Amino acid sequence: MGKSGSGLSMGNRREARRQSSSTVRNVSSYGGGPSSRRGSSRPASSYPGSSRSSRTGSSQRGGYVHQPVDRSGRNVPPARSSRGASRGTARSASSAGRNSVSGTQSVRLGDIGRQERRQRASALSSSLFKKLLIVVAVLAIFAGAYAGLYYSGLFKVESVTVAGADHLTEEAVVDLADVPKDASMLTVDTNAIRQNVLTNGWVQDVQVNKVLPSTLQLQVTERTIQAVVEVTSKDAESTELWGVSTDGVWLMKIPDKDSEEAAGLSEKVYEDADAVLHVVDVPYGVVPEEGQPCTDDNVNNALSIIGGMTTELADQVKEVSADGAETTTLILDSGVEIAFGSADDIRDKERICLELLKEHEGTIAYINVRVVNRPTWRALG
């Protein structure tokens, strides 16, 4: 009984020693020991065998994994080696340094760019300002010179000449122009002068030219007279002769040759008035206005017939009776009357009249071609 107990005690003692040794090993692997029990804060690297662990982060010793633990007994993740950490730190510092230098350089370049732009803008503004001053100075000089010339009377209009007028005298055109007495060649209103001259029916167009130093030249283009129209006066007691141009404009009232009004007219007016056809028997109420288009249908129909004839018949016509558009009649030099009617089919009507006049020469007195496809004629009574 005693041996058994002693045997068991001996076994127990062996087991106790084995467990105690294992416990010691375990504690040593975690950096324990007497100092650990006393609350010492010595790092594990201060104990024997701990330098390898600090270099590699962990090692195997006696079949156990050596890994640091905190005071509560929890495992602490292995730290990077001091060499790797130092390298990482150096790279970080180098990168930070480069970024710092690059950022500084970018800031400095941006400042330089802004300064250059400011300098260019300032130089441009200064250049523009100088140019503006030069322009203002030049304009001021010209304005002063212009004012001096204007008030000096150096370019005052001294004479007005007329060219191209046949039916109007030079004095009549100058009176129409109405150039101001104190007019200057620099400021004279040539358009106003042109409009003044155009009020006359004979004037189709006029150009006002400045001939320095002191002359205005009026280059006139006149209309051509087509016929003389006998118009009943407003009081119905007399007849007035009015010239009408080829473009249907009332030229002027033609006075008697012996009147005071005729003294200021050119002889060309009377020469042309005697050479053209006369339109007679115009109904009462036609009121001509110098320089304005003719608006009477009867007169316009007669003018269309006169202007539209192209054969030798036109040379034989002496007068045109325009009492109505459909009853317009041509009176020939021979005394033959032709009821021509409207200004339609003029060439066909001319052809028929010439054939009848030739066929019945000396015996025919009247021809009617108002209806061109049914002409009629009558012999002398």
pLDDT by residue, tens only, the chain of 381 residues: 444 444 445 555 565 565 555 444 443 444 444 443 444 444 444 444 444 443 434 434 444 445 555 555 555 555 444 454 445 554 554 555 555 445 555 556 667 777 888 888 788 788 887 888 888 878 877 666 555 655 556 789 999 999 999 999 999 999 999 999 889 998 899 999 999 999 999 999 999 999 988 999 999 999 999 999 999 988 888 999 999 999 999 999 999 988 888 887 889 999 999 999 999 999 999 999 999 999 999 999 999 999 999 999 999 999 999 999 899 999 999 999 999 999 999 999 999 999 999 999 999 999 999 999 999 999 986
- What separation in angstroms does the CA of 14 have from each of 142, 234, 361? 131, 168, 181
Q: Give the span between the Cα atoms of 216 and 177, in whole angstroms.
A: 10
Q: Within its chain, how far is the Cα of 236 from the centroid? A: 59
Tell me the CB-side half-sphere exposure of residue 23, using CA atoms within 13 A. 6
My answer on whether omega of the bond before 48 falls inside 30° of 0, hence cis, is: no
Do the Cβ atoms of 70 and 32 come closer than 8 Å?
no
| Element of type H or E holding 122 | helix 82-152
- What does pTM read for this prediction? 0.59
DSSP labels for 265-279?
A: S-HHHHHHHHHSEEE
Query: Beta strand pairing status for 250-253 and 215-222?
Result: unpaired
pLDDT attached to residue 129: 78
